[in-house]
């Protein structure tokens, strides 16, 4: 009983922190136990940071968040003993970031595959075929591909495949022929080099029939991710809609003896799903099934944290297994050893500043905490200019504080909500504190002596279900032009 209580505590703190540890002995049925005890822990936990775990345990609780914050539509590539992952980047550049790991828990950025702005980049597919790396991705509803002979680059210029679709997924047959699957159960044949199409797009398989009484957003058959296992080809798809109600999204499986079909749905569908809004993770789906270097099976997928759509879709890791009749299912009670860790602290993310559509006068960073403090120094030119710190959903919808030489400007949901005199002049420090979607703004002459400005602002509505576009609320700095300087930026878990 003591071990069980310990595991319950560590599950809570792992889900609220970026610091994660490779672990070995999960307790069965932890999801049900956690849903019962979580409300009590939320009252006890306060505004916890990411730097150190409150408790440590050898028992991970599934699913395990391996990328906290807005890392949606994960696509993972297994390359020997190495793992590579990329994600949706929407309007932010550089796009298609590439992360590397040797243990599935500790990840480091090693580059990116796209510098050019092509529009909003969604749901990539990361592949390696005959020694060459490929990333297929949609941008503004058109399918592109980039390739490289070294995963660290350089990557090719994007190649437009002339397809209007989203969510590509590559599969290679036993004879080397290639097919690209797309949303809506569609498929198109590719040339031997994978860089052009050789025929029309055709319908290849139907959605799994979602029961009529389930609460979902839509049928939305998308995100085909394909693999071969024991003489069968499997396609793991998303259905139910990416957002909307907590129970919307899911991962479903189909299989065929041929890369061209016909495809039969799994009798165990859905293989990943949020069954109730009492669960910690909402709208679980968009999964990629894979075997690690040791032959253990896993799925990475995305989900929203309960009540925190503002953080975007986190990437989670869950053990999988195979039924006797050859279907993948979640291994929820798995006593699973993660691949050996080199000992680096897991889950801490190097801050990466990304520009909005390539505009370096507005940059943001991903956060995974429900509470954090964002601080920076602003220097304004003598002849005017404005700069500041924001929590930004997009270029038009943001909450925060900006300054010119005479006035502090307060913003909420993209609208000016107040101006106060700026007593600090052209050099000042600003701070934005987000305490579970309640935001307080600060200004001062030094970072150690800051005064609150204005009222506390509620940002809980700044998410996709209200604003659309599948974005997240992110710390951002913005300036009217390069004549303004914003520096000494820090994002710290918890309140300061």
Model pTM score: 0.87
Instruction: Answer yes or no: is pLDDT of 186 > 60.
Output: yes
* H-helix segments, 337-420: none
Those residues with Cβ within 8 angstroms of residue 175's Cβ, 6 or more apart along the chain or in another chain: none
Q: By percentage, how much of the chain surpasses pLDDT 90?
A: 81
Specify the pLDDT at position 382.
85
Residue 431's H or E segment, with its range, is strand 427-435
Is the pLDDT at 388 greater than 70? The verdict is yes
Domain residue spans in the chain?
A: 1-58, 62-330, 354-493
Tell me the three state secondary structure of residue 119. Answer: coil
Over pLDDT 70: what percentage of the chain?
Answer: 85
Classify domain 62-330 by CATH number.
2.115.10.20
pLDDT band at 343 (very low <50, low <70, confident <90, very high): very low
Average pLDDT over residues 106-135: 97
Cα dist from 231 to 58, 127, 261, 262, 309, whole Å: 36, 20, 13, 14, 40
pLDDT at 465 over 90: yes
C-alpha 285 chain-centroid distance: 12
pLDDT band at 339 (very low <50, low <70, confident <90, very high): low
Mean pLDDT of 265-282: 98
Interatomic CA distance for residues 167 and 108, integer angstroms: 25
Q: Which fold has domain 354-493?
A: Jelly Rolls (2.60.120)
Q: What is the mean pLDDT of the chain?
A: 88
- Tokens coding 389: 């710190």
Q: What is the pLDDT of residues 193-247, one digit of tens each?
A: 999 999 999 999 999 999 999 999 999 999 999 999 999 999 999 999 999 999 9
More confident residue, 224 or 343: 224
The pLDDT confidence band at residue 383, using thresholds 50, 70 and 90, is confident
Where is average pLDDT lowest: 42-56, 159-173, 365-379, 459-473? 42-56
52-105 confidence digits (pLDDT tens): 222 233 446 789 999 999 999 999 999 999 999 999 999 999 999 999 999 999
226 contacts: CB under 8 Å, gap ≥ 6: 169, 170, 171, 181, 233, 234, 235, 236, 259
């Amino acid at each position: 009983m003591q071990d069980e209580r310990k595991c319950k505590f560590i599950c809570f703190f792992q889900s609220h922190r970026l610091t994660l540890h490779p672990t070995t002995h999960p307790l069965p049925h932890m999801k049900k136990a956690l849903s019962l005890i979580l409300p009590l822990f939320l009252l006890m936990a306060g505004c916890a940071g990411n730097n150190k775990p409150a408790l440590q345990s050898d028992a991970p609780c599934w699913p395990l968040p391996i990328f906290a914050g807005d890392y949606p539509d994960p696509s993972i590539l297994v390359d020997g003993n190495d793992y590579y992952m990329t994600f949706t980047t929407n309007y932010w550049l550089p796009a298609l970031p590439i992360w590397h790991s040797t243990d599935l828990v500790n990840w480091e950025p090693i580059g990116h595959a796209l510098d050019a702005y092509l529009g909003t980049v969604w749901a990539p597919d990361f592949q390696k075929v005959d020694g060459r790396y490929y990333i297929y991705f949609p941008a503004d509803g058109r399918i592109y591909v980039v390739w490289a002979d070294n995963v660290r680059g350089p990557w090719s210029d994007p190649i437009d495949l002339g397809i209007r679709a989203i969510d590509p997924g590559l599969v290679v047959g036993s004879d080397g022929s290639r097919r690209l699957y797309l949303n809506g159960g569609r498929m198109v044949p590719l040339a031997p080099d994978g860089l052009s199409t050789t025929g029309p797009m055709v319908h290849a398989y139907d959605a799994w029939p979602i029961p009529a009484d389930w609460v979902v957003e839509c049928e939305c058959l998308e995100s085909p991710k394909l693999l071969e296992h024991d003489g069968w080809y499997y396609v793991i798809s998303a259905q139910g809609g990416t957002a909307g109600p907590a129970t919307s999204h899911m991962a479903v499986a189909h299989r065929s003896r041929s890369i061209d079909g016909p495809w039969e749905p799994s009798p165990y569908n859905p293989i990943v799903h949020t069954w109730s809004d009492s669960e910690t993770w909402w709208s679980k789906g968009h999964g990629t099934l894979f075997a690690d270097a040791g032959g253990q099976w896993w799925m990475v997928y995305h989900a929203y944290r309960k009540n925190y759509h503002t953080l975007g879709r986190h990437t989670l890791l869950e053990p999988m297994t195979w039924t006797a009749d050859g279907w993948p299912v979640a291994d929820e009670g798995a006593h699973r050893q993660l691949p050996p860790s080199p000992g680096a602290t897991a889950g801490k993310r190097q801050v990466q500043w990304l520009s909005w559509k390539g505009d370096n006068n507005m940059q943001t960073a991903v956060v995974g905490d429900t509470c954090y403090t964002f601080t920076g120094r602003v220097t304004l030119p003598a002849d005017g200019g404005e700069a500041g710190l924001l929590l930004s959903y997009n270029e038009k919808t943001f909450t925060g504080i900006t300054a010119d030489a005479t006035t502090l400007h307060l913003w909420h949901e993209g609208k000016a909500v107040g101006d106060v005199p700026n007593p600090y002049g052209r050099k000042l420090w600003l701070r934005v504190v987000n305490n579970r979607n309640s935001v307080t703004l600060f200004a001062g002459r030094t970072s150690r002596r800051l005064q609150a400005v204005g009222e506390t602002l509620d940002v809980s509505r700044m998410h996709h279900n209200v604003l659309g576009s599948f974005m997240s609320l992110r710390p951002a700095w913005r300036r009217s032009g390069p004549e303004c300087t914003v520096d000494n930026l820090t994002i710290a878990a918890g309140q300061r």
